[in-house]
Amino acid sequence: MIPRQGTSDGLTRRAKRTITGHDIGSIALDLLLYADLEQTQKRSWRHIALLEVTSHVFDRRKRN
């Protein structure tokens, strides 16, 4: 799930190395699960998650 601020967890460790597609999927899934808990901002969180995943995929395709 979404980590608390100030904790040293998976997202902190991910930032120190190359982010893979699996990491992006995991982060997006965390955002989508969080969105289900946050009823008032459900659509905006899902929109952000989908934009992050699609922009990452398109950037990787351009490089390859």
| 59 belongs to a structural domain | yes
Instruction: Give the distance, in angstroms, between the CA of residue 51 and the centroid of all CA atoms in the same chain.
Output: 10
| 52 belongs to a structural domain | yes
pLDDT at residue 31, rounded to an integer: 75
pLDDT at residue 64, rounded to an integer: 58
| 43 belongs to a structural domain | yes
Number of domains in the chain: 1
User: What are 9-55's pLDDT values in tens digits?
Assistant: 555 554 555 666 677 777 777 777 776 666 555 566 667 777 777 77
Residue partners of 26: CB distance under 8 A and separation at least 6: 10
| 42 belongs to a structural domain | yes
Q: What angle do CA 59, 62, 63 make, to 5 degrees?
A: 90
pLDDT at residue 13, rounded to an integer: 52
Q: Greater confidence, 46 or 4?
A: 46
Is residue 63's pLDDT more than 60? yes
Is residue 2's pLDDT more than 60? no
Residue partners of 36: CB distance under 8 A and separation at least 6: 42
| 28 belongs to a structural domain | yes
| 3 belongs to a structural domain | no
Phi, psi of 16 (to 5 degrees): -90, 0
List the domain range (segments joined by +) for residue 31. 16-63
